[in-house]
Structure 1
Amino acid sequence: MNFSIKEIATAGMILFAVIDIVGNVPIIVDLRNKVGHIQSEKASIVAAVIMIAFLFIGEEILKLIGIDVNSFAVAGSFILFFLAIEMILGISLYKDDAPETASIVPLAFPLIAGAGTMTTLLSLRAEYHVENIILAIIINIIIVYAVLKSSSRIGKILGKSGLAVIRKIFGVILLAISVKLFASNVTGLF
Structure 2
Amino acid sequence: MFNFKEIISVTLILFAIIDILGSIPIIINLRKREGVIQSEKATLVSGVLMIAFLFVGDGILKLFGIDFQSFAMAGAIIIFLIGLEMILGKDFFHTDPDIKSGSIVPLAFPLIVGAGTMTTLLSLRAAYSVPNILVGIILNLLFVYIVLKASGWIEQRLGKAGADILRKVFGVILLAIAIKLFKTNLPA
Q: How does 1:34-73 map to 2 (within 5 A)?
A: 40-73=39-72
Query: Alpha-carbon deviations, 1:30-70, whole Å to 9, x = none?
Result: 6456xxxx763454233222233234323322211111112
Q: TM-score, normalised by structure 2?
A: 0.70
Q: CA deviation at 1:19?
A: 8.1
Partner of 2:173: helix, strand, or coil?
Answer: helix
- 2:82–2:171 Cα contact (<8 Å) kept: yes
Q: Partner residue of 1:20?
A: 23
Superposed CA RMSD: 3.5
Of residues 107, 113, 118, the one that matches 2:108 is: 113
For the residues of structure 2 that align with 1:129 and 1:24, how far apart are their CA atoms? 27
Establish whether residue 98 from structure 1 lines up as the match of residue 92 from structure 2. no
CA distance in 2, matches of 1:87, 1:161: 14
Structure 1 distance, partners of 2:144, 2:69, is 29
Counterpart amino acid of 1:89?
L
Q: Structure 1: how far apart are the matches of 2:69 and 2:85?
A: 24
Aligned length: 179
Question: CA 1:165 to 1:150, structure 2 compared with 1: closer, same or farther past 3 Å?
Answer: same
What is the alpha-carbon distance in structure 1 between the residues aligned to residue 19 and residue 85 of structure 2? 16
1:63 and 1:95 map into 2 onto residues whose CA distance is: 31
| Alpha carbons of structure 1 residues 65 and 18: separation in structure 2 relative to 1, 3 Å | farther
Residues 125 and 145 of structure 1: CA distance in aligned 2, closer, same or farther (over 3 Å)? closer
Taking the aligned partners of 2:172 and 2:10, their CA distance within structure 1 comes to 21
In structure 2, the CA distance between the partners of 1:44 and 1:113, relative to structure 1 (3 Å rule), is: same
Give, as a single letter, the amino acid of the residue that structure 1 aligns with 2:118.
Answer: L
Assess if the C-alpha contact under 8 Å between 1:88 and 1:171 holds in 2. yes
Q: Residue 163 of structure 1: CA displacement? A: 1.7
Whole-angstrom distance in 2 between the partners of 1:30 and 1:88? 15
**Does residue 184 of structure 2 align to residue 184 of structure 1?**
yes
Q: Find the residue that maps to 1:174 and give its secondary structure.
A: helix
Residues 1-39 of structure 1 show CA distances to partners (whole Å, capped at 9, x for unaligned) of 894978865653342269824432243256456xxxx76
**For residues 115 and 52 of structure 1, what CA distance do their matches in structure 2 show?**
15
Gaps of 5+ in 2: none
1:153 paired with 2:153, answer yes
| Cα distance in 2, alignment partners of residues 182 and 4 from structure 1 | 31
Give the 5 Å matches for 1:71-86: 71-86=70-85
Match of residue 172 from structure 2? 172
- 1:142 maps onto 2:142 in alignment: yes
Q: Give 5+ residue unaligned stretches, structure 1.
A: none
How far apart, CA to CA, are the structure 2 residues paired with 1:140 and 1:178?
23
Of 113, 118, 122, the match for 2:118:
122
CA distance in 1 between partners of 2:151 and 2:169 (Å): 19
1:77 Cα offset (Å)? 2.2
